[in-house]
């Protein structure tokens, strides 16, 4: 369980994987079932009946009796009685899908797709969140996009046989299949961006654990420093509001996080020193250490700057091209909300505009769309590859 806790940290922290008598598979299955039926914040009689039917069919496959599925559903409901943020739920769902992809065998994967497919369509309506979860699960269970398309084509054919091509579910599936044909990697954002009268709401921000965030901001800082290699100094600084004065002025705390003086090669000691410092700072704000603590729910801004042929001690917001990253510290990690670039009037909300932003500032879309690697060794590989930018 400890090894899985490191691979799926948010599921572990929130207790989804904490039912020892259920094994490790049933909680994941029931959690994804619960997410499907909860997308519109209500459980219909049709969904309830289908949940019972699927529990009877698949309980033994996942190592528990059918009655235990309902017990597990109640346990997960109790977890949700404590506040779960929008970004935490999205992160937990992503981790659950990753669990299915990595830990389930082929028979369990086939069952998981059948469970979610039947549960999502049991109330005769497919909302955008249901489609997003279903698409992610199908992608996790199949290696080839043709197989994914076949799954949804088969579901579409069944829908129009039972209903007709004008039924809401048929239209929703046709839209989904068009998204898959256009760009399989952008389907999730395309689906969640659709208007939906039954499931309105913004796309949740990206959520990093503290350890992930420390590595992520180092990667971002290195990328920008590689764009400004002739700068005398590249910096990353953090700013957050801490109080209001009697005359209405805002008191701002700030922290110099990363500072590079003309990185000379991929093995420059400055990189390792800055990475260690950044990781220590993320730990310090979590533990409440320091002269100016950062409380949970605190919004803060990270400014990444430095210009060729210049030595900028503090950011000059009159200059074009500075990166301003808006984040929020919550109890379970750090949310990424948006990128702004001085001189550009557009705000790049994350993860909605991840593809566009990645193309503009030379990042991988997966770094800003909510699928940044959980595994430390994968993050280390990214850092090592970005360091190589300074060998050119």
Question: Got the DSSP string for 351-373?
Answer: TTTHHHHHHHHT--GGGTTT---
Instruction: Mark which of 136, 160, 192 sits at the end of a domain.
Output: 192
Judgement on whether residues 61 and 166 belong to the same structural domain of the protein? yes
Judgement on whether residues 36 and 184 belong to the same structural domain of the protein? yes
Judgement on whether residues 186 and 331 belong to the same structural domain of the protein? no
Whether 200 maps to a domain, the answer reads no
Judgement on whether residues 214 and 188 belong to the same structural domain of the protein? no
Judgement on whether residues 177 and 78 belong to the same structural domain of the protein? yes
**Other C-beta atoms lying within 10 Å of the C-beta of residue 43:** 14
Judgement on whether residues 233 and 178 belong to the same structural domain of the protein? no
Question: 315: which DSSP letter?
Answer: -
Judgement on whether residues 133 and 256 belong to the same structural domain of the protein? no
Judgement on whether residues 174 and 238 belong to the same structural domain of the protein? no
Lowest mean pLDDT among 5-9, 110-114, 207-211, 245-249: 245-249
Whether 226 maps to a domain, the answer reads yes
Whether 198 maps to a domain, the answer reads no
Judgement on whether residues 127 and 153 belong to the same structural domain of the protein? yes
Beta bridge partners of 329: 298, 334
User: Who contacts 142 (Cβ-Cβ below 8 Å, separation ≥6)?
Assistant: 148, 151
Instruction: Mark which of 163, 192, 221 sits at the end of a domain.
Output: 192
Whether 201 maps to a domain, the answer reads no
pLDDT tens digits along 121-145: 999 999 888 888 999 999 999 989 9
Question: 199: which DSSP letter?
Answer: S
Instruction: Domain of residue 180: give its range.
Output: 2-192
pLDDT tens digits along 140-192: 999 899 999 999 999 999 999 999 999 999 999 999 999 888 887 777 766 66
Lowest mean pLDDT among 51-55, 170-174, 233-237: 51-55
Judgement on whether residues 188 and 212 belong to the same structural domain of the protein? no
User: Who contacts 302 (Cβ-Cβ below 8 Å, separation ≥6)?
Assistant: 217, 236, 237, 238, 239, 257, 323, 324, 325, 327
Q: How confident is the model at residue 2 (pLDDT cuts 50, 70, 90)?
A: low
Q: How many residues does the chain have?
A: 392
Judgement on whether residues 172 and 220 belong to the same structural domain of the protein? no
Judgement on whether residues 19 and 137 belong to the same structural domain of the protein? yes
Q: CA–CA separation, 352 vs 334, rounded Å?
A: 17
CB 178 within 8 A of CB 140: no
Whether 340 maps to a domain, the answer reads yes
Whether 385 maps to a domain, the answer reads yes
Lowest mean pLDDT among 64-78, 111-125, 214-228, 314-328: 64-78
What integer pLDDT is reported at residue 390 of this predicted model?
92
Domain count, the chain: 2
What integer pLDDT is reported at residue 63 of this predicted model?
67
Instruction: Mark which of 158, 192, 226 sits at the end of a domain.
Output: 192
């Amino acid at each position: 369980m400890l090894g899985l806790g490191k691979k799926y940290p948010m599921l572990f922290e929130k207790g989804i994987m904490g039912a020892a008598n259920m094994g490790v598979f049933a909680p994941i299955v029931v959690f994804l079932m619960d997410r499907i039926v909860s997308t519109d914040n209500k459980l219909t009689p049709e969904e309830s009946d289908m949940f019972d039917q699927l529990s009877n069919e698949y309980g033994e496959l996942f190592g528990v009796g059918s009655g235990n599925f309902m017990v597990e559903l109640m346990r997960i409901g109790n977890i949700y009685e404590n506040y779960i943020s929008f970004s935490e739920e999205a992160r937990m769902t992503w981790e659950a899908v990753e669990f299915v992809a990595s830990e389930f065998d082929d028979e369990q994967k086939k069952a998981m797709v059948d469970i979610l497919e039947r549960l999502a369509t049991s109330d005769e309506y497919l909302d955008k969140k249901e489609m997003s979860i279903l698409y992610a699960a199908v992608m996790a269970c199949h290696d080839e996009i043709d197989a994914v398309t076949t799954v949804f084509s088969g579901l579409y054919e069944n829908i129009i046989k039972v209903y007709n091509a004008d039924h809401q579910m048929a239209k929703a599936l046709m839209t989904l299949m068009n998204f898959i044909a256009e760009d399989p990697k952008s389907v999730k954002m395309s689906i969640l961006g659709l208007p939906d009268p039954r499931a309105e709401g913004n796309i949740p921000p990206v959520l990093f654990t503290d350890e992930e965030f420390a590595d992520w901001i180092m990667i971002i800082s290195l990328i920008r420093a590689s764009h400004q290699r002739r700068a005398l100094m590249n910096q990353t600084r953090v700013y957050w509001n801490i109080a209001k004065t009697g005359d209405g002025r805002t008191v701002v705390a700030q922290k110099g996080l990363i500072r590079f003086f003309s990185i000379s090669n991929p093995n420059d000691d400055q990189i390792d020193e800055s990475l260690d410092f950044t990781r220590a700072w993320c730990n310090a704000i979590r533990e409440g250490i320091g002269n100016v603590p950062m409380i949970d729910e605190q919004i803060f801004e990270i400014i990444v700057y430095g210009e060729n042929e210049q030595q900028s001690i503090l950011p000059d917001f009159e200059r074009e091209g500075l990166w301003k990253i808006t984040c929020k510290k919550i109890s379970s990690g750090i949310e990424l909300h948006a990128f702004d670039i001085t001189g550009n009037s557009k705000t790049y909300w994350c993860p909605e505009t991840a593809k566009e932003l990645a193309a503009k500032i030379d990042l991988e879309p997966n770094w800003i769309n909510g699928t940044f690697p959980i595994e430390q060794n994968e993050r280390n590989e990214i850092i090592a590859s970005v360091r190589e930018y300074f060998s050119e």
